[in-house]
Amino acid sequence: MAMSDMFARLKRFLREVHLEFDKVSWPSRGETIALTTLVIMMVIALTVVVLVYDFSFVKIITYVTGHVKL
């Protein structure tokens, strides 16, 4: 395969990628901010839930086994 053929194929590929990006329906700035905020809030909420469960299980296991947590 000649180098010029490879560059021609690469150029064609990049042109097609650009055309496909033009077809994408991108979310508005407001939608992006709202959904990003929602994701961050959900991550924080689930982190708190996991921490509560973890703390509870540690306390239960410590109580049941009678071990002192160091």
| pLDDT single digits (tens) 15-37 | 999 999 999 999 999 999 999 99
Instruction: Output phi, psi for 32, to 5 deg.
Output: -65, -45
- Span 24-51, mean pLDDT? 97
Higher pLDDT, 1 or 65: 65
- The answer to whether residue 70 scores a pLDDT higher than 60 is no
